[in-house]
Amino acid sequence: MDKKIIIGSDHAGFNLKNKLIDFIKNKGIKIFDAGTYTTESCDYPLIAKEVAQKVASNEYEMGLLICGTGIGMSIAANKVKGIRAAVVSDTCSARMSRLHNNANILCLGERIVGEQLAKDITETWLNTDFLGDRHSRRVEMIEDL
Ligand code: RB5
């Protein structure tokens, strides 16, 4: 895969972020780490903003955001025009968020999903393409809201 991917987390997602970076790099995929870089408490909207803006501007094609639940990251990222961030805790939703919703940011909660499940979700999400067709119309309708 030659997609450009960016990842970010707050302190509550820091450990899972590092594990996913290794997991993704081991597959030969390049990934940019937008922080945070320590376990010191920080504000997730700042990281969500940076990652979301870089995906919305097409500097990166796909983004991953991790916090305690994934919820705060998704709420913040979805404020950026052009972002479709999906909070996912299972592989079926991961696949569907790409097939039907063309999600361009995956949000995970380190306090919600275990390491292996997070890896399975990430792999599924990165390897699934948007179906287009009737779903394109609906995604465009979201964009116009
Ligand atoms: C941090 O304590 C926590 O609120 C944050 O990581 C996230 O879960 C928010 O949605």
Residues 120-144 pLDDT 10s: 999 999 999 999 999 999 999 999 9
Question: Which CATH code of 3.40.50.300, 3.30.300.130, 3.40.109.10, 3.40.1400.10 fits the domain covering 4-143?
Answer: 3.40.1400.10
Query: Which sequence spans correspond to the domains of the chain?
Result: 4-143
User: What integer pLDDT is reported at residue 3 of this predicted model?
Assistant: 84
| Residue of 11, 42, 92, 100 marked active site | 100
Which atom of ligand 1 lies at the shortest distance from residue 72's CA? Answer: 10
CA–CA dist 116, 90 (Å, integer): 11
Ligand 1 centroid vs 67 CA: distance in angstroms?
Answer: 5
Residues 48-101 pLDDT 10s: 999 999 999 999 999 999 999 999 999 999 999 999 999 999 999 999 999 999
Alpha helix (H) residue ranges in 26-84: 44-56, 71-77
CA–CA dist 69, 90 (Å, integer): 13
- Token digits of residue 38: 């320590």
Does the pTM exceed 0.85? yes
E strand or H helix at 85, and its extent?
strand 85-87
| Active-site annotation holds for 67 | yes
User: What integer pLDDT is reported at residue 92 of this predicted model?
Assistant: 98
